[in-house]
Amino acid sequence: MKMNGFVSTMIFAVLLGCSAPRMVWAQGPPPGVDPVNCTGCVGTTDIANGSVTAPKISPGAVGSGQINPTQVQKRVTGACPTGSSITAIDENGAVLCETDDGGVTAITVSAPLVSTGGSTPNLSLPGVIIGTTNTAVGQDALVSNIADGNTANGVTALAGNTTGYQNTASGHQALFSNTEGGNNTATGFQALRSNTVGFFNTASGHSALFNNTGSDNTASGAGALGNNTAACCNTATGYFALANNTTGGGNTGSGHLALLHNATGHFNTAVGYGADVSTGDLSNATAIGFGATVDASDKIRLGNTAVSIIEAQVGLTVVSDATRKETFLPVNGEATLNKIRGLTLTSWNLIGQDPRRFRHYGPMAQEFFAAFGSDTVGTIGTPTTITSTDIDGILMVAVQALERRTAEQAEEAVRLKAENAALKARVEAFEQLMKEALPPR
């Protein structure tokens, strides 16, 4: 490397151990430089300490010949007009501009990302579909669906010519078989896996709505509505809620295993852990409470067999509108009293209840049904249950019969009182007549 006279002389002086290095120039010192005191020059001590200050370098002393343009950037002096942005700056400080556009018209990516779509670009990642109408995240999610504007990664994902739209799938094989169905949301492993043409379904949970092909169903929980096929309008919330429903529609199950045994029944409701129907084909049956099981259509069951008290702030209000009743038959009050007389009326408790806490009064359902279970038109109640409104009605018939007896007895008492007064008057008149007819003693 070539050194100028100044630098070589300095290094030589330092190596000789000079305490006050003297500068030597071949053609004499530059103007303003004191070679003895090194005023106005750059010394080795200043360079070594990295403290070259302004007084050591005269203005303009460093020229373009001492600057490497590939390592030093001149001050930026350019700017871009409104509507454009700086894309590059060269070593002279000049800027390069480009016009801003209204949106992305292409995407350039590297593997494993895939870009397609031209002027409406899509971006795909293995297991991810981001389209203009459908979104899928997870291996084989929405694998059969390729509606307009969607992209999927891999040949398998494009296997089908279908029209499903506005679907969202998140999870391995979620909405796996969907083809023409739309507005579906599946979240979880194999959620809505078999759905093909169903619309407006929402499944959240492992295998929720797994076999579904129907519409307007909502399932939240692992296995919820898992066997539902073409049925619609079911709502299942909880682990395996409505899990065995196949074609039953309009059912609502809320709770762990709620409505588990419903299969083809319609419009059933179960609320509570294990709340259920006794058979799979009931309709309009309602079970409320832990383990509550309803065993007939058009029936409501509150609580399980362990329930001992049903409490409310007010009494039960029952519809009894005359305009909603028909097929009226008179009831014989005296016959009712005779039947009541034949009932076994005791106090008792249900099996399993603590008899010191739970005691009840009343007839047995079997006897009550035998006495009042038929009115020649139809059946009233069952051999194992008594309807409170029916027993209240029977008691009112009996009270009415007793009141009629009381009224008749009151009328009889008035009649007898009148007869007694008449007899008394006749006796008194007879006694008076006898007094007048007999001579004095």
User: What percent of the chain lies above the pLDDT cut of 90?
Assistant: 54
Q: Which of 18-22, 25-29, 107-111 has the lowest mean pLDDT?
A: 18-22
Residue appearing with tokens 């590939």: 70
Residue 147: its pLDDT value, please?
A: 47
User: Which is more confident, 49 or 416?
Assistant: 416
Assigned token pair, 23: 């500068």
Residue 134: its pLDDT value, please?
A: 77
Assigned token pair, 289: 């409470």
3-state helix, strand, coil in the chain (%, to 5): 20, 15, 65
User: Which is more confident, 399 or 5?
Assistant: 399
User: Which is more confident, 278 or 77?
Assistant: 278
Residue appearing with tokens 């008899």: 355
Residue 287: its pLDDT value, please?
A: 98
2, containing H or E segment: none
CB-based burial label for 27 (10 Å; 0-12, 13-18, 19+):
exposed
Q: Is the pLDDT of residue 13 over 60?
A: no
Q: Is the pLDDT of residue 36 over 80?
A: no
Q: Considering only the C-alpha atoms of the chain, give the largest distance between any 2 of them, rounded to a whole number of Å.
A: 200
What average pLDDT does range 277-303 have in this prediction?
A: 97
Residue 16: its pLDDT value, please?
A: 41
**Closest listed residue to residue 286, CA positions, set 309, 302, 265:** 302
Q: pLDDT for 222-234, tens place per residue?
A: 999 999 999 999 9
Residue 184: its pLDDT value, please?
A: 94
User: What percent of the chain lies above the pLDDT cut of 70?
Assistant: 70
What average pLDDT does range 71-100 have in this prediction?
A: 80
Residue 88: its pLDDT value, please?
A: 85
Distance, CA of 209 to CA of 222 (rounded, Å): 9
Residue appearing with tokens 């609502």: 252
Q: What are the residues whose beta carbons fall under 8 Å from the beta carbon of 328, sequence distance 6 or more?
A: none
Domain range list for the chain: 5-59, 76-105, 329-441
Q: Is the pLDDT of residue 59 over 90?
A: no
3-state secondary structure of 300: strand
What average pLDDT does range 6-31 have in this prediction?
A: 45
Question: Beta-carbon neighbour count of residue 129 at 10 Å?
Answer: 25
**Closest listed residue to residue 363, CA positions, set 381, 337, 340:** 340
Q: 307-311, long-range: CB within 8 Å, 24+ apart, which pairs?
A: 308/350, 308/353, 308/358
What average pLDDT does range 355-370 have in this prediction?
A: 94
Assigned token pair, 209: 């709505």
What average pLDDT does range 209-238 have in this prediction?
A: 96
Assigned token pair, 438: 């007999």
Residue 95: its pLDDT value, please?
A: 85
Residue 250: its pLDDT value, please?
A: 98
Residue 131: its pLDDT value, please?
A: 65
Q: Is the pLDDT of residue 263 over 80?
A: yes
Residue 22: its pLDDT value, please?
A: 44
Peptide bond into 355 cis (omega under 30): no
Residue 439: its pLDDT value, please?
A: 78
Contact 138, 153 (CB under 8 A): no
Residue appearing with tokens 């506005």: 166
Distance, CA of 204 to CA of 222 (rounded, Å): 8
Residue 29: its pLDDT value, please?
A: 59
Q: pLDDT for 148-176, tens place per residue?
A: 444 443 323 323 335 788 899 898 889 88
Distance, CA of 197 to CA of 199 (rounded, Å): 7
- Per-residue confidence at 14, pLDDT binned at 50, 70, 90? very low
Q: Which of 22-26, 183-187, 192-196, 395-399 has the lowest mean pLDDT?
A: 22-26
- Per-residue confidence at 245, pLDDT binned at 50, 70, 90? very high
Q: Is the pLDDT of residue 200 over 70?
A: yes
What average pLDDT does range 254-267 have in this prediction?
A: 98
Residue 100: its pLDDT value, please?
A: 73
End-to-end CA distance of the chain: 189
What average pLDDT does range 205-209 have in this prediction?
A: 96
Residue 41: its pLDDT value, please?
A: 53
Distance, CA of 190 to CA of 172 (rounded, Å): 6
Residue 281: its pLDDT value, please?
A: 98
Residue 160: its pLDDT value, please?
A: 33
* Type of residue numbered 33: V
- Per-residue confidence at 90, pLDDT binned at 50, 70, 90? confident
CATH architecture of 329-441: Orthogonal Bundle (1.10)
What average pLDDT does range 83-107 have in this prediction?
A: 76
Contact 57, 42 (CB under 8 A): yes
- 278 CB-side CA count, 13 A: 9
From residue 425, give the alpha-carbon distance in Å to each of 137, 214, 228, 430, 433.
111, 94, 92, 9, 12
Distance, CA of 125 to CA of 326 (rounded, Å): 69
Average predicted confidence (pLDDT) for the chain: 81
